[in-house]
Amino acid sequence: METYIIDGVRSPMGMKNGKLMGVRPDDLATDVVKVLLERNPSISHSNIEDMVIGCAFPEGSQGFLMARGISVMAGLPKETGGKVVNRLCGSSMDAAHQVSQAISAGDINCGIAGGTEDMFGVPMGGFMPSFNPVLYEQEYYMGMGETAENLAKELNISREDQEAFSINSHNKALKAIEDGKFKNEIAPITFNDNTVSQDEGPRSPDVEKMKSLDPAFDAEGTITAATSSPISVGASAMILASGDYVQKNNIEAKFKIKSRAIAGVDWKTMGSGPLPATEKALTNAGMSMSDIDVIELNEAFAAQSLYVIRKGGWDESKINLNGGAIALGHPLGCSGTRIMITLMNVMEQNDLNTGLATMCIGTGQGIATVIERVN
**Residues carrying an active site annotation:** 89, 330, 360
Burial class (CB in 10 A: 0-12, 13-18, 19+), 257: buried
Cβ neighbours of residue 143 closer than 8 Å, sequence gap 6 or more: 217
CA angle 86, 188, 120 (to 5 degrees): 45
Residue 363's alpha-carbon distances to 140, 144, 285, 366, in angstroms, are: 7, 9, 26, 10
Distance CA 310, CA 243 (A): 38
Nearest to 188 by CA among 32, 319, 342: 32
Classify strands 255-264 and 365-373 as parallel, antiparallel or unpaired. antiparallel
Cβ burial of 248 (10 Å; 0-12, 13-18, 19+) is exposed
The closest of 12, 15, 18 to 31, measured between CA atoms, is: 12
